[in-house]
Amino acid sequence: MRMEGKYKIAGVVFGLKTKYAYTHRLCEEYQSDEDEMFAIETDDVSIKREEEASEQVFPPPYLESLAVYRQLCNRILSDYDGFLFHASAVAVDGCAYLFTAPSGTGKSTHARLWRELLGERAVMINDDKPIIRCVDGNFYVYGTPWNGKHRLSKNARAEIAAICELTRGEKNEIVRIPPAEMIRVLMNQSLRGEDGESMLKLLDLFDKLAKKTAFYRLKCNISEEAARVAYEAMRIKGGEK
């Protein structure tokens, strides 16, 4: 028996058929009664693909959820000007600030420091795998149910003010960097297209994003000062540019 549901994620509505119930529970807060725009259905082949790609051993229901997200992101890249970006995304006063880095660098920790510093003004959009979309010429970050080990996300979107690459350092220092440097980071931290046409679409979105968004690199330690240094620079030069 196939499990069925309909969901709206990143502004697109899709029907979903799966072998296991796990993904439907995961997406419960994203249920929709709007007309679906396309359908996603998994099979044993797609689940096996995720198993082979994973560096860890996961149960089939979890692997199926990854297969669903891959299909969703591929469709959004192809038809809806969006892509998956590995980052922690925090919205402050309606503007989104994204922190990206290799796993283990501390992007989730830095996002937590922003929330501690700014209190209720800071809202966690997604702590791991948000979707970025270009809508009417502007770029937004969207919450998704695929939100990292801390399960921090919100079914919401916010316009992107700035994107920051995090690196570790003893002293907290932030600099604005040119788009050419950030595009390398975007490529490394995004789900890439599976064919030449999709890759060209992704590169075109990066180019458009670079024209609309401020990019930064932050060397930081784990302290409130790190969050304050980042916020003051990005707010003034990013969110209020």
The pLDDT score that the predictor gives to residue 139 is 97
Cα–Cα distance, 109 to 38 (Å, whole number):
36
Q: Check residues 159 and 101 and name the one with the higher pLDDT.
A: 159
The CA-based angle 41-44-47, given to 5 degrees, is 80
Helix (H, G, I), strand (E, B) or coil at 136: coil
Dump pLDDT digits (tens) for 78-89. Answer: 999 999 999 999
| E strand map for the chain | 3-9, 12-18, 38-41, 82-84, 88-92, 95-100, 122-126, 131-135, 138-142, 157-168, 173-176, 214-220
Q: Is 104's pLDDT higher than 80?
A: no
Amino acid in position 33: D
pLDDT at 241: 42
Q: Please give the average per-residue pLDDT across 2-19, as a whole number.
A: 97
Q: What pLDDT does 236 receive?
A: 52
Share above pLDDT 90 across residues of the chain, in percent, rounded to a whole number: 76
Which pTM value belongs to this model? 0.92
Please give the average per-residue pLDDT across 138-164, as a whole number: 92
Fold of 83-239: Phosphoenolpyruvate Carboxykinase; domain 3 (3.90.228)
- Per-residue b or e along 191-222, where b marks 16 or more CB atoms closer than 10 Å to that residue's CB: bebeeeebeebbeebbeebbeebbbbbbbbee
Label residue 221 by pLDDT band (50, 70, 90): confident
Q: Indicate the SS3 state at residue 61.
A: helix
Band (240; pLDDT cuts 50, 70, 90): very low
Comparing 103-107, 161-165, 207-211, the range with the smallest average pLDDT is 103-107
Residues 36-69 pLDDT 10s: 999 999 999 999 999 999 888 999 999 999 999 9
Give the Cα separation of 185 and 102 in Å (integer): 10
Residue 71 has pLDDT above 80, yes or no: yes
CB 8 within 8 A of CB 29: no
Does 238 have pLDDT greater than 70? no
Q: Are 143 and 88 in contact (CB under 8 A)?
A: no
Cα–Cα nearest to 126, from 99, 102, 104, 101: 99
Lowest mean pLDDT among 9-13, 111-115, 140-144, 190-194: 190-194
What's the pLDDT at 237?
A: 47
| Residue 92: band (very low, low, confident or very high) from pLDDT cuts 50, 70, 90 | very high
Angle between helices 60-79 and 196-212 in degrees, nearest 10:
70
Annotated domain spans of the chain: 3-80, 83-239
